[in-house]
Amino acid sequence: MSPTTVLDQVDIEGVDFAFQDDPDIHATLATLRARRDYAVVPFAGVRAVLLLTDELVSAAFKDEATFPAAAIYQMTTGPVLGKTLQCMEGQEHRVARGVATPPFRRKMVASQVEPLLEPLAHELIDRFSGDDSADLVAEFTTKYPVLVISRLLGLPVADEATVHRWAHDLFYFPLDPEAAMRASREFTEYVVPILQARRRDPGDDLISMLVTESAEGEFLDDEQILSFLRLLFPAGADTTMLALGNTLSALLTHPEQLALLRSDPDEWTQWAIWEGMRWEPPVGLLPRACPRAVAWRGISIPALTPMIFSINAAHRDPAVYERPDDFDITRRKTSMLSFGQGVHSCAGNWLAIAELTTALRVLLERLPDLALVQGSEDAAKVTSQVGVALRGPNALPVQWRRA
């Protein structure tokens, strides 16, 4: 008889955590968490262990030996993006991260990147502010983070529409793998000559830095640089797009919180961003894998078990947050789990925070009395995007008083 494992019994039926949107996902997660701090759930036709508390999710992120990021990313994003940071381990990961990520550190973001952000936010708002209503997802949130990345890389402004299309196709990889592979190929063909030119004649952009900097005496080769550049779109642009959409959705559906923010933007903007990411983290349910059989915190997990780190359940864990379901910008808490933890934690978190804070501030300044178009509450709700891991609103139909 084979030994018993955690997978012997499933805790919920009739929903697949890989594919199916659950409109009441927070209630489902709360019910499961009330029973036990983890659950066994259907996932892509098999069973997965879903971690539900702040303590377990945080511990699992930090335990790279038991749940190595590479085990999942080599299978999922590897074929499209190549061997990215997320597919690397140990020394190779340390060196690649050491070269690629210094520009995203807090001080560098403040001095080098922030000056880019405000003019870009204005540039996008200029395109629609002559009207008195718009869909902020179509007009702003989908565009701004892609343009930030594109300008950081120093790509020609004339190519931005094409770059935006590639970023879009890479994002929808699980729904249309062929388009994503094509986008990856086309982006690579486009960027290789730029990379070669910057090797010959470096400027002050991110690509020049990637070709000239080293860490622990090692430089990145072309393929390492290319995989990092490909990763920047799904990891850096789409996440930020969803985070901005989620915070705007939360504020627009909680007018009293929006009024508080407006009463003192200097005080409340950054807390609104952090609370938006706590309430609806863009990466809600992060898939991982457990390659080897292990007894982990009393859970007997067989080899090759899919794991799901539920950041969104951890963010509403009543052991950590009072009134966890309330969107309340006065909590003044930084929900760092939004960005993962441990060696593979987000390399761009300070960039993301700077982008989000600037965007929110400029949108509220430029669009006085910003509010949802009446009757649009359902359209503006946060929902699953491309499978259930990522969450954001499909649309944000808003109106404002024309100045």
Q: Which is nearer to ligand HEM, 244 or 376 (CB)?
A: 244
Each as own residue / partner, the long-range contacts of residues 163-168 (CB below 8 Å, 24 or more positions apart, any chain) are: 163/187, 166/233, 167/233, 167/234, 167/237, 167/238, 168/142
If one asks whether residue 104 binds ligand HEM (CB under 6 A), the answer comes out as: yes
Tell me how far, at minimum, the Cβ of 30 lies from ligand HEM, in Å: 21
Helix (H) or strand (E) holding 48: strand 46-51
* Nearest Cα to Cα of residue 225 among 151, 153, 143, 163: 153
Taking the complex as a whole, the smallest distance from the CB of residue 24 to ligand HEM amounts, in Å, to 22
By CB under 6 A, name the one of 18, 120, 194, 283 that touches ligand HEM.
283
80, 235, 301, 372: which one contacts ligand HEM (CB under 6 A)?
235
Encoded one letter per residue, x for contact with ligand HEM by CB under 6 A and - for no contact, window 241-280 reads --x-------------------------------------
Contact 17, 38 (CB under 8 A): no
Question: DSSP assignment, residue 233?
Answer: I
Q: Give the nearest distance from C-beta 97 to ligand HEM in angstroms.
A: 5
How many beta carbons lie within 10 A of that of residue 77, not counting itself?
23
Q: Which of 141, 240, 335, 376 binds ligand HEM (CB under 6 A)?
A: 240
Smallest separation (angstroms) from ligand HEM to the CB of 8: 27
The residues near 144 (Cβ < 8 Å, ≥ 6 apart) are 120, 121, 124, 240, 241, 244, 355, 359
Element (H, E) at 287: strand 285-290
Residues 292-321 that bind ligand HEM (CB under 6 A): none
Binding test (CB under 6 A) with ligand HEM, winner from 42, 82, 234, 282: 282
DSSP 94-160: HHHHHHHSGGGSHHHIIIIIHHHHHHHHHHHHHTTTTSSEEEHIIIIITTHHHHHHHHHTT--GGGH
Give the whole-angstrom CA distance, residue 234 versus residue 334. 23
The DSSP string of 375-403 is T-TTTTSEEEETTTTEEEES--EEE----
Among 232, 359, 364, 372, contact with ligand HEM (rule: CB under 6 A): 232
Q: Which is nearer to ligand HEM, 70 or 376 (CB)?
A: 70
Ramachandran area for residue 14 (φ above 0: left; ψ -120 to 50: alpha; else beta): left
Residue number, 354 or 362, with CB nearest to ligand HEM: 354
Residue among 85, 82, 159 nearest 151 (CA): 159
What is the Cα–Cα distance from 281 to 176, expressed in whole angstroms? 24
Number of residues engaging ligand HEM in binding (CB under 6 A): 25
CB of 282 to ligand HEM, least distance (A): 5
Identify the residue among 49, 85, 251, 299 touching ligand HEM (CB under 6 A).
Answer: 85
Rounded Cα distance, 69 and 85, in Å: 9
Q: Which is nearer to ligand HEM, 49 or 351 (CB)?
A: 351
149/372 with CB nearer ligand HEM: 149
Count of Cβ atoms closer than 10 Å to residue 298 Cβ = 7
Which range touches ligand HEM (CB under 6 A), out of 46-54, 113-121, 227-235, 263-271?
Answer: 227-235
CB nearer ligand HEM, residue 285 or residue 301: 285
Nearer to ligand HEM, 243 or 314 (CB): 243
With respect to ligand HEM, which residue has the nearer C-beta, 93 or 198? 93
For residues 333 to 362, the per-residue mask of contacts with ligand HEM, x marking binding by CB under 6 A and - elsewhere, is -----xxx---xxxxx--xx----------
Residue 343 CB, shortest distance to ligand HEM, in Å, is 6
Residues 57-76 that bind ligand HEM (CB under 6 A): 69
The SS3 assignment for 37 reads coil
Under the binding rule (CB under 6 A), the answer on residue 239 touching ligand HEM is yes
Tokens in use for 315? 């963010």
For ligand HEM, the nearest residue by Cβ is 348
Considering the complex, state which of residue 40 and residue 337 has its C-beta at the smaller distance from ligand HEM.
Answer: 337
Tokens linked to 218: 């090692």
Residue 103 CA from chain centroid, whole number: 18
Which residues make up the interface to ligand HEM (CB under 6 A)? 69, 85-86, 97, 104, 231-232, 235-236, 239-240, 243, 282-283, 286, 338-340, 344-348, 351-352
